[in-house]
């Protein structure tokens, strides 16, 4: 007997429909809390876009921190291979973040001016998760912590992150663990200070790239780091371009110089020797 049009859309008999006592999809994901956290301070339509872009970006950043932390721990423990999947995932997430600027760029200058004053002094500059990502990737800056003094528990956790080795410090430690000569000043440096290029580190990476067969895991690690370093720079550049498109050269809402500040940030590379060695290969 042929099924009628209504039969095709009937739920399968074994499908659960009673969630009085069981956990549902929305319960597991706490969707009530998440989807009720978009509060426009103006009546302007496009403020919803602005809020959702930044909230979803923070969720993606949380995943990046989760993966970078675990990857760094594996590298420090000498288990490089498990970190590769994590770093590949970080690069994919970064692509999502880069794409988010393309969505936000649909916000026109006139639209943004309709609700910009409602932001007060809040600014993306104050994103603690973005700072934690930069710390984890080696871009340390203790002055940034002043922005978070009003939240002691957050300030303390960020101070702890500032004083931890970055994923690049862990990678350099992996080079030394394999017998490649690294200056002690690099291995025993102050982790809270931004990393500076070092000739012994460049020489070690050159050895890896010139003898891939014997150092395949270190070579793979280096290329994974290049991936996430590149994606982070794409994110920074798209951030700068989107801000310039929307507000031009106005000052940022949090008091920064705006686009000129973001342009300076773009000029700060991650993992410097992994770039300089390419000229010398």
Residue 30 annotated as binding site: no
Q: Which of 242, 168, 163 is nearest to 205 (CA)?
A: 168
Residue pair 148/154 in contact by the 8 Å Cβ criterion: yes
How far is the C-alpha of 218 from the C-alpha of 209, rounded, in Å?
9
Q: Binding residue per annotation — 276?
A: no
Does 150 appear as a known binding residue?
no
Q: Is 239 annotated as a binding residue?
A: yes
50 assigned ligand-binding residue? yes
Burial class (CB in 10 A: 0-12, 13-18, 19+), 250: middle
Q: Are 105 and 244 in contact (CB under 8 A)?
A: no
Check whether 246 is labelled as a binding-site residue.
no
166, two tokens: 């970055």
Give the whole-angstrom CA distance, residue 239 versus residue 127: 14
Neighbours of 24 (CB within 10 A): 11
Q: Is 35 within 8 Å of 52 (Cβ atoms)?
A: no
* 51 annotated as a binding-site residue: yes
Instruction: Compute how many other C-beta atoms are within 10 angstroms of the C-beta atom of residue 202.
Output: 17
- Distance between CA atoms of residues 216 and 208, nearest Å: 8
Binding-site residue ranges for substrate: 50-54, 112, 116, 253
Binding-site residue ranges for heme: 239
Binding-site residue ranges: 50-54, 112, 116, 239, 253
């Amino acid at each position: 007997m042929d099924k009628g049009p209504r039969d095709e859309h009937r739920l399968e008999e074994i499908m659960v429909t009673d969630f009085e006592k069981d956990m549902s999809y929305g319960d597991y994901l706490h969707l009530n809390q998440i989807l009720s956290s978009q509060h426009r301070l103006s009546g302007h339509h496009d403020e919803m876009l602005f809020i959702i872009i930044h909230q979803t970006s923070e969720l993606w950043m949380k995943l990046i921190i989760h993966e970078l932390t675990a990857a760094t721990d594996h590298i420090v423990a000498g288990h490089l291979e498990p970190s590769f999947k994590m770093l590949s995932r970080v690069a994919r997430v970064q692509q999502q973040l880069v794409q988010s600027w393309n969505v936000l760029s649909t916000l026109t200058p006139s639209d943004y001016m309709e609700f910009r004053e409602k932001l007060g002094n809040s600014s993306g500059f104050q994103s603690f998760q973005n700072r934690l990502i930069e710390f984890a990737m080696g871009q340390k800056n203790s002055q940034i912590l002043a922005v978070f003094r009003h939240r002691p528990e957050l300030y303390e956790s960020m101070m702890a992150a500032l004083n931890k080795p970055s994923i690049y410090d862990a990678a350099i430690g992996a080079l030394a663990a394999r017998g490649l000569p690294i200056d002690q000043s690099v291995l025993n440096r102050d982790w809270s200070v931004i990393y500076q290029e070092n000739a012994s580190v460049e020489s070690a990476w050159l050895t890896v790239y010139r003898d891939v067969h014997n150092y395949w895991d270190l070579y793979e690690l280096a290329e994974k780091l290049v991936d996430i370093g590149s994606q982070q720079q794409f994110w920074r550049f798209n951030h700068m371009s989107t801000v310039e498109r929307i507000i031009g050269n106005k000052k940022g809402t949090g008091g920064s110089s705006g686009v000129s500040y973001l342009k300076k940030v773009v000029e700060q590379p991650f993992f410097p020797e992994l770039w300089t060695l390419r000229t010398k290969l």
